[in-house]
Each structure stands twice: as C-alpha cells, then as structure tokens.
Amino acid sequence: MTRNLVVAGFGGQGVMLLGQILALAATEKQLNATWLPSYGPEQRGGTANCTVVISDEEIGSPVVDKPMYTIIMNNPSMEKFEKMVEPNGTVILNSTLITMEPKRTDVNYLKVPANELAEQAGSQRSANMVMLGVIGWLWKDIFTLEELEQAMVEKVGDKRPQLVETNKKAIELGYEFAKNII
C-alpha cells in the first residue's frame, strides 16, 4: 500500500499542517510517511504546497510529480496542480474559493465547500481540517477518524488548545460530507 497526496493553497491556509497531521497519523500507526514542503520563490505570502507519501513499504521518492490525490485550496494552485494529477486520480477542491472550472475528464473531482463547512465548525481557518476529514473518509482503509483527530490534537493541542474543538468538528464535517457525496 502506497498513497500520495499533494496539498496546495495560499501560505495561510494551513496546507502544511494538513500534510503534517497525515504524516504523523501514519507514523503513529507504524507506517512509513514522508512530508515534503515546497514554498514559492516569494519569501513571504504566495502559494505553498506539500507532498505526503504514506506506505507500508520503504518510501522511494518523497518528491511526487503525478500525485494520486490532490487537495487544492485556491485558484492559483488549481492552475498549477490540476494538470499534474495521475490519470484516475482524485482532485479534492475547495469549492468555496475555487471559481475555475475543472478541465480534465480522466480524474475524479470532489468539490468540497471547505470554508463554508469550516465556518459551520466555528472558524473559516479550519477549512484545512475539513479537507483532512474528507481524506479521512477516502483513506478510511488506512486511518480511523479517531486516529486522525488524535494526530491533529498532538500537532495543535500544545500550541493552540483553543482550536482543538473547532478542528475536531471540522474534521467530522468533512468526513460526513465525503461519506454522503461519495
């Protein structure tokens, strides 16, 4: 079993954290995982993305140019990453912010109103956690919802305990959303 995923968006959208939580959850399960960040040439602001690879074997390249899954949080990232996804791969896009129309026919699109769901959970800033929930459903063969929440708490709990509850709710909303539309 090997899964890989690219998460892309603006610097402030928490795409790095999303990836780290997945890598952490995998590590806790004694799976192998790599998390690889990539920042644009702008020193501040601008777009950012990270690549996560999870596997029960030794991981080859942490660099992935044809990801199986992508989570895309904004238009510029849609421009850049939509075309990279592997044929038959899955594109999870934040339909709240992405106005561009999907262009490919050989991949599966999953439109998630991430910011809206996050707002329901308590804060737009948890849109990344909604997406975590969505991936959680898609990868339920690997993780339970609890395992993902647990990893989130480990990552976030110490520094910003006040976010834990909102995040949990966001993860669950994402999970439910995915469950219902798939």
Beta bridge partners of 69: 5, 90
**What does the per-residue mask of binding to other proteins show for 44-73, with x meaning CB under 8 A?**
xx-------------xxxxxxxx-------
Q: Which residue has the tokens 């991981």?
A: 59
The least distance separating other proteins from the CB of residue 148, rounded to whole angstroms, comes to 14
Residue 87 interacts with other proteins (CB under 8 A): yes or no: no
The least distance separating other proteins from the CB of residue 181, rounded to whole angstroms, comes to 29
Please choose, from the candidates 177, 102, 139, 115, the residue with its C-alpha nearest in 3D space to the C-alpha of residue 21.
139
Rounded to 5°, the CA angle 78-49-172 comes to 85
Closer by beta carbon to other proteins, 34 or else 177: 34
Residue 20 interacts with other proteins (CB under 8 A): yes or no: yes
* Cα 71 to Cα 110: distance, rounded to the nearest angstrom: 9
* Cα 114 to Cα 96: distance, rounded to the nearest angstrom: 6
Residue 157 interacts with other proteins (CB under 8 A): yes or no: no
Closer by beta carbon to other proteins, 65 or else 158: 65
Chosen residue from 5, 14, 33, 142 binding other proteins by CB under 8 A? 33
The least distance separating other proteins from the CB of residue 64, rounded to whole angstroms, comes to 7
Q: Which residue has the tokens 């995915």?
A: 178
Closer by beta carbon to other proteins, 98 or else 178: 98
Residue 43 interacts with other proteins (CB under 8 A): yes or no: yes
Residue 34 interacts with other proteins (CB under 8 A): yes or no: yes
Closer by beta carbon to other proteins, 64 or else 173: 64
Which pair of tokens denotes residue 107? 């991949």
In terms of phi and psi (left: phi > 0; alpha: psi -120 to 50; beta: otherwise), the region of 14 is left
With contacts defined by CB under 8 A, how many residues of the chain interact with other proteins?
Answer: 24
Residue 35 interacts with other proteins (CB under 8 A): yes or no: yes
3-state secondary structure 49-104: EEEEEEECCCCCCCCCCCCCEEEECCHHHHHHHHHHCCCCCEEEEECCCCCCCCCC
Residues that bind other proteins (CB under 8 A): 20, 23-24, 27, 30, 32-37, 41-45, 59-66
